[in-house]
Chains A and B, each alone.
Chain A
Amino acid sequence: MSANLSAIFYLISGVLFILALKGLSSPKTSRQGNVFGIIGMIIAIVVTILSVGNFSTGLIYVLMFLLLGGAIGAFIAFKIPMTAMPELVAGFHSLVGLAAVFVAISAFLKPEVFNLGMPGNIKIVSLIEMSIGASIGAITFSGSVIAFLKLQGIMSGSPITFKGQHFINALIGISIIVLIYYLCVTQLPNLFWLIILLSFLIGLLLIIPIGGADMPVVISMLNSYSGWAAAGIGFTLENTALIITGALVGSSGAILSYIMCKGMNRSFFNVILGGWGGADKTLDTKNSEQRPVKSGNAEDAAFLMKNASSIIIVPGYGMAVAQAQHSLKEMVDTLKNNGIKVAYAIHPVAGRMPGHMNVLLAEANVPYDEVFELEEINNDFANCDVVFVIGANDVTNPIAKTDPQSPIYGMPVLDVEKSKSVLFAKRSLSPGYAGIDNELFYRDNTLMLFADAKKMTEDIIKNL
């Protein structure tokens, strides 16, 4: 296959990938979009195999490994529970990163295969491109592995910080740039290995200080990195499909990071340079330990709900942990059968990744037109009788609107306090990830339901 013809096919697959993302603008067109994405991928793979034109035993290995990886991927895709999506996405990011590193190394070892010059005499532009691709790929890999471990709970979700952290990171970052410069000058393989090694290291160091609840930002950021890594490799291989895709994924992840940061009213750098819930955490919690709260049981909750005419449900990470989405849906169905209006309100940073709550509710068959974003529903809290907060905390804290001293001041929050009564299904009074007390717990119209979210929901159903 001629180079021009395959370039046109790569362009087509790039366009199909754009359509795949475009399809996600509405649930109705989304499945079609996914099919476009699959077709684009098949075109890219087939065209590559044809244009290499090497139908030796090597090809059998390629197909074998392709199917082996495919089988593993398919198995994971069908087995994974929806609550584990954040871990899965983090894990997948790490694979893209590592694949980018391997492809870059392979191109460095055998540049003649990719028309990049000869070993020891690689074109400068290509050398820069593959170093950047390998470096970002390595950062994506090690960063995603840490994110995965934190999400899985294998590694503590609390931020791990040490003195001089930012200084070390900056030093490594500068070293990588300097090394790329010297690599171009000297073409020494050892410099290339060192660049990759340092990139792995900085990926670890960047993610380790970030707390579990900042994961929505981290995952989006790594998503973006995996795109830039692919684009870097795309430049090396002079492959349009890879460049287009890399740019798409890179900007997609960047936008998601931006949305997540805005949802917490924090700057991107603030998140990256170390999390909330650090040193000042203990200060805030101590002075409000002994305040009285009203706590109730499932019976009280059911009573309040039965006498309400409209209810808004605010799910959070706790719902995901307790896997309470199915019983929640059952509860809502019972309420709706009694003629009560029910809607769901979702904060942008609820859960551990963008759209986390929406997927869980979708899994439980909640119609998507009952699920509302913050801006859409925030005015409705004033006219609502009962708010049922299940596993959320900070995103409802009115202190974000009133206390400029608070770390979450200015964060957009759901105005749950405006409703007639608030039910909090929560395991304890412990503060949320921001490490601050929620003013709402102590209000007269708040009833705390201390239990596991799933068990509480089931008990409420029994009492309805």
Chain B
Amino acid sequence: MEIDPFIFRFSIFILSIFIGYYVVWSVTPSLHTPLMSVTNAISSVIIVGAIVASLSGNNENLFNLSNILGLIAIILAAINIFGGFLVTQRMLQMYKKKKKDK
């Protein structure tokens, strides 16, 4: 019997939870704020769904509701991606400066 592809994805999901569990416990507490901002940025990979949604139409009906929602989601996710990574970089930069000072 064929295994449903859903089961494969579900396996990836469960294993990723375990990876996340062990990786996050190894994060040093002083970097918990950058951890939050970077997880924020990477969870915006949801933008891939938004891109598919906004490119779904052909040229004649470019602006049906589905496409418009996709485009709005692109803006929201892009704010997060750029904002999240850049603010993380800015924070981590401060941890670096200190090291040089010493």
Contact = CB atoms under 8 A, between A and B. Distances in A.
Interface stretch (A48-56, A205-213, A441-449): A48-56
B19 A31 contact: no
A223 B33 CA distance: 11
Contacts, number: 382
19 contacts: A24-B38, A25-B26, A30-B34, A37-B42, A69-B76, A77-B83, A80-B87, A89-B36, A95-B77, A95-B79, A102-B70, A114-B53, A229-B46, A243-B12, A251-B24, A256-B32, A259-B29, A354-B35, A355-B30
A367 B9 CA distance: 43
Interface in B58-102: 58-59, 62, 64-67, 69-99, 101-102
B81 A58 contact: no
Contact of A56 (B19, B58, B95): B58
A242 B46 contact: yes
Contact of B49 (A21, A89, A239): A239
A138 interface: no
A71 to B, nearest CB: 8
The residue among B33, B38, B41, B64 with the most chain A CB atoms within 10 A of its own CB is B33
Interface string A30-51: 1101100110110011001100
Interface size class of A (residues with CB under 8 A): 35 or more
Given A34-B89, A106-B69, A365 B40 contact: no
Interface stretch (A168-176, A230-238, A308-316): A230-238
Given A74-B82, A243-B9, A54 B55 contact: yes
Q: Which 7 A-B pairs have the closest CB atoms?
A: A69-B78, A355-B32, A73-B82, A73-B83, A247-B16, A251-B20, A354-B32
B29 A354 contact: yes
Interface stretch (A59-67, A267-275, A412-420): A59-67
A113 B70 CA distance: 12
Interface stretch (A12-20, A149-157, A278-286, A399-407): A12-20
A20 B34 contact: no
Nearest to A108: B66
Given A102-B70, A106-B69, A57 B62 contact: yes
B28 to A, nearest CB: 6
